[in-house]
Amino acid sequence: MTEGTSEQSSSAALKPSDFVHLHNHTFHSVLDGLTKIHDLVDKVKELGMEAAAVTDHGTMSGILDYYKTAKKAGIKPIIGIETYVAARSPL
């Protein structure tokens, strides 16, 4: 058996596109996010990533803009939302 595994050699060759941010807030997350959608997409592209998620708090109001902006830039948009569930809540 040889030293080192394929797992070790593959992890040494990770590229920026192998990492995806799955928890991002934009200015649509009131009191939590300040990022403008085009700035987020520009940064993702600059860093060589192929995808990113937007998971604003309790709203999907920016998703259409994010989807269109990301697709135009060649970024895979991952759509999400951060919600809270509480007992006896109307949600």
pLDDT in tens, the chain (91 residues): 455 555 555 557 888 788 899 999 999 998 889 999 999 999 999 999 999 999 999 999 999 999 999 999 999 999 999 998 888 766 5
Please give the residue range of the domain that contains residue 58: 14-79
In a domain, 9, yes or no: no
| pTM of this structure | 0.77
Q: How far is CA 78 from CA 13, 22, 68, in A?
A: 24, 8, 12
Say how many domains are in the chain: 1
CA distances to 2, 14, 39 from 35, rounded to whole Å, are 48, 27, 7
In a domain, 21, yes or no: yes
Q: Is the residue at 22 inside a domain?
A: yes
d(CA 4, CA 8): 6
**Do the domain assignments include residue 19?**
yes
Residue 91, in any domain of the structure:
no
Is 90 within the bounds of a domain? Answer: no
pLDDT score recorded for residue 11: 56
Amino acid identity of residue 70, one-letter, is: A
19 close to 49: Cβ distance less than 8 angstroms: yes
What is the end-to-end Cα distance of the chain in Å, rounded? 56
